[in-house]
């Protein structure tokens, strides 16, 4: 069931959205060669604590997970697409890092992700990240009343496929509200004019995940969480929490 938020509720959701934006900025600032993923997680924890927010990631355990998630960020490096565990891995020159972060404040959740490089960037990684951001922007632009879920999916998929990148078939965006994952699901590829109609009050996490090698195949690490490209190519992830309003899409996790 899709919960339509009131204008007041959407305004309240801006608070956790700002916290997520600050946490992602803190992580990005802390990300240098030699810094561990655990230290990046600590940077995000500090922002959440200062804001009085909790993490919807920490302790989260869906049906497929062997253990609860141990951090407040997903830290996915190079060929890791999503759900990477923040551990003792220390960043190296040229690493491509994707950070996903959520915050819960005032009973509402915000969820966003960003990808960036550490040290000297590879041109191919810069292009991959720029395309992920362009796909996210295209998906957000399609998040308007009267359109359908398929219009968002088609906009994202068109940008990704036109650039020659792969898309994870089984993972995509989702509704956001009182909990991190709500209806409806938001695929990253689809046919325009299909699916649920978009209405004011819907709040969606729109999140393209791109595979540089052009295939859609992925595998799960032995940790039960980290999803990696099957061909070993790099991946990028971009995400915002977006409210659909009569005036158009409103990004709730913008800085």
Extended beta strands in the chain, E state:
73-77, 80-82, 96-105, 108-117, 166-167, 173-175, 182-186, 203-206, 209-211, 218-220, 227-229, 235-237, 240-245, 248-251
Residues whose CB is less than 8 angstroms from the CB of residue 150 and which lie 6 or more positions away in sequence, other chains included:
190, 191, 192, 193, 194, 195
CA nearest neighbour of 96 among 253, 214, 237: 237
Q: Distance (Å, rounded) from C-alpha 211 to C-alpha 230?
A: 10
For strands 166-167 and 73-77, give the pairing.
Answer: unpaired
Q: What are phi and psi of 130, to 5 degrees?
A: -60, -35
Per-position DSSP letters for 230-242, written without gaps between them: TT---EEE-BEEE
Digit-coded pLDDT (tens) for 136-194: 999 999 999 999 999 999 999 999 999 999 999 889 999 999 999 999 999 999 999 99
What is the pLDDT averaged over residues 40-44?
98
Confidence class for position 102, pLDDT limits 50, 70, 90: very high
How distant, in Å, are the alpha carbons of 81, 145, 199 from that of 246? 34, 7, 8
Q: Which two tokens stand for residue 72?
A: 């407040």
How high is the pLDDT of residue 58? 98
Query: pLDDT digit string (tens) for 51-70?
Result: 999 999 999 999 989 999 99
Q: In the prediction, which pLDDT does 115 show?
A: 98
Between 109 and 169, whose confidence is greater? 109
pLDDT in tens, 68-99: 999 999 999 999 999 999 999 999 999 999 99
What's the whole-number mean pLDDT along residues 9-37?
Answer: 98
Q: Percent of the chain having pLDDT more than 70?
A: 100
CA separation for the pair 234, 147 (Å, rounded): 32
């Amino acid at each position: 069931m899709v919960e339509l938020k009131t204008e007041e509720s959407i305004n309240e959701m801006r608070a956790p959205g700002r916290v997520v934006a600050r946490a992602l900025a803190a992580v990005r600032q802390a990300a240098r060669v030699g810094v561990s993923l655990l230290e990046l997680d600590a940077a995000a924890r500090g922002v959440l604590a200062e804001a009085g927010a909790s993490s919807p990631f920490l302790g989260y355990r869906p049906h497929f997970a062997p253990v609860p998630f141990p951090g407040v960020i997903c830290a996915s490096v190079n060929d890791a697409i999503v759900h990477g565990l923040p551990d003792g891995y220390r960043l190296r020159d040229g690493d491509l890092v994707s950070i996903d972060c959520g915050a819960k404040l005032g009973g509402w959740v915000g969820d966003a992700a960003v990808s960036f490089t550490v040290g000297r960037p590879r041109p191919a990684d810069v292009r991959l990240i720029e395309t992920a951001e362009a796909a996210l922007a295209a998906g957000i632009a399609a998040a308007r009343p009267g359109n359908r879920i398929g219009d968002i999916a088609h906009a994202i998929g068109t940008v990704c496929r036109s650039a020659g990148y792969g898309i994870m078939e089984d993972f995509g965006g989702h509704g956001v509200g009182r909990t991190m994952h709500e209806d409806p699901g938001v695929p990253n590829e689809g046919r325009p004019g299909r699916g649920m109609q978009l209405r004011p009050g819907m709040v969606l996490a729109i999140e393209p995940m791109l595979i540089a090698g052009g295939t859609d195949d992925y595998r799960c690490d032995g940790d039960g969480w980290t999803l990696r490209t099957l061909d070993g190519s790099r991946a990028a992830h971009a995400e915002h929490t977006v409210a659909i309003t009569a005036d158009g899409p409103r990004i709730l996790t913008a800085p």
